[in-house]
Structure 1
Amino acid sequence: MSKDNLERLFEKLQNDFDFEEPKNGHQERFLEKLSQNNEVVTLHQKKTNWWKPLSIAASIAIICLLGIQVFNTRPSIKEQVVEIAPEISKTEFYFASLIEEQVQQLKDEKSPETAKLVDDTLQRLEKLELNYQNLEKELVSGGNSKMLLNAMITNFQTRIDLLREVLTNIENIKNLKSYNDENITI
């Protein structure tokens, strides 16, 4: 319909619109007439939507749980060890960097002649690292701190001594091989 047609329609119906309110009790009378015809009539009452408040409450609960997990995490074993003995972190950093440097040197020296020696040394170092982690756990659980700290330092020193000894042996193997190569005559 065009705009003109709509305007003409409203002009024709202008005096025919009913602006009066129904009398009091209109709805009850209407429902009574319908029920006389044996038809069941129910008023469509406004339903309360519970899903919106429930979804908001669930979202808040999830956020709270995540917040509790983030802020209520237990400190790691390393952090607990540092709390018990702050000086151990400096010692561990020093020894760990020294050991890492020598392990890298050991890996660089790996050759077919020294492969078995290098692999065996790396396995021993892993066992010593596991031993060190057990010492940390014992320290956190309340063991004799002086004795455990000494054992931890001894563990580091053992690793360093092992690496130095193996690197010396590898150097001897390389020297022996070059000496044998020089003495071979064609």
Structure 2
Amino acid sequence: MMKKDNLERFVRDNREAFDDAEPPMGLWSKIESGLGGPGLADPIGNERDDTLSGRVVPLNGNAARGAGGWFNLNWRVAASIAVLLLAGTLLYKNYQPKTAAPSELVAAGPAYAQQVAHYTQLIDNKRAELKQMTGSNPALYEQFSADLDRLEHSYQGLKAELPQNPNQEVLIQAMIQNLQLQINLLNEQLRVIERIKHQNQKANENVV
């Protein structure tokens, strides 16, 4: 293995093959500490393997200057990746679906969690349908929403009580029954709207 003195002698004897730029301070100590490290090619050759980048870099003054730039580039890339990962984590936390079941439900049993998630998604879809069908009658939508909101308020109260309640299974059953009541109410409201629309259509046909 080439020691520091041999490497210095090699550079002095072949100075014309190198750039005329002065090496940065501390370069020899860095070279010495790096001798024998993994991924280092034959030191007599004109090329070495850069273990950080996997590239083959010419062993000259330009390479010494470029190494610092490459390390800086690696740090910038690493920092950019860290920022992207952090942003992705925040987005995931902030935009998780509202249908996700509480952790207490998951602990009580996957079947409960799946059932609650299914009912919650169904309620969201039916609420959206209700809003669309009552677009021409905002007063009716407000009336229907008030009935639904009372049930939803009760559901949120049960959900908030869940972590501290020792009888979690009984409470979960009450939550599921509440969601079923919301679905039944929504179905009835949608049927009422359909009947109103049908009656209006018949009235218009009779007028014509």
TM norm structure 2: 0.47
> 2:174 and 2:155 mapped to 1: Cα distance?
8
> 1:81 and 1:134 mapped to 2: Cα distance?
15
Residue deviations 1:9-39, cap 9 Å, x none? xxxxxxxxxxxxxxxxxxxxxxxxxxxxxxx
Residue deviations 1:48-91, cap 9 Å, x none? xxxxxxxxxxxxxxxxxxxxxxxxxxxxx922343344433211
> 2:103 and 2:182 mapped to 1: Cα distance?
23
Cα RMSD (Å): 2.0
> 1:150 and 1:124 mapped to 2: Cα distance?
21
Alignment map for 1:139-154 (pairs within 5 Å)? 139-154=162-177
Alignment map for 1:57-68 (pairs within 5 Å)? none
Task: State which drifts further: 148-157 or 81-90.
Answer: 81-90
2:151 to 125, 128, 134: 128
Q: Work out whether residues 104 and 163 of structure 2, in 8 Å CA contact, stay in contact via their aligned partners in 1.
A: yes
1:92 to 104, 113, 116: 116
- Higher RCO (C-alpha 8 Å, min separation 6): 1
Which has the higher Rg, Structure 1 or Structure 2?
A: 1
Which 4+ runs in 1 deviate beyond 6 A?
none
Residue deviations 1:79-123, cap 9 Å, x none? 2343344433211110011111111111110143x3222212222
Task: Using the TM superposition, give the Cα deviation of residue 143 of structure 1 relative to its aligned residue in structure 2, in angstroms.
Answer: 4.2
Q: Give the unaligned 5+ runs of structure 1.
A: 1-76
Q: Structure 1 counterpart of 2:117, which letter? A: F
Q: Work out whether residues 84 and 140 of structure 1, in 8 Å CA contact, stay in contact via their aligned partners in 2.
A: no
Q: Give the unaligned 5+ runs of structure 2.
A: 1-100
> 2:186 and 2:129 mapped to 1: Cα distance?
9
TM norm structure 1: 0.52
Query: Structure 1 vs Structure 2: percent identity of aligned residues?
Result: 31
Partner of 1:160: 183
Task: Using the TM superposition, give the Cα deviation of residue 171 of structure 1 relative to its aligned residue in structure 2, in angstroms.
Answer: 0.4
Q: Structure 2 counterpart of 1:144, which letter? A: N
Q: Work out whether residues 105 and 172 of structure 2, in 8 Å CA contact, stay in contact via their aligned partners in 1.
A: no
Partner of 1:169: 192
> 1:105 and 1:129 mapped to 2: Cα distance?
17
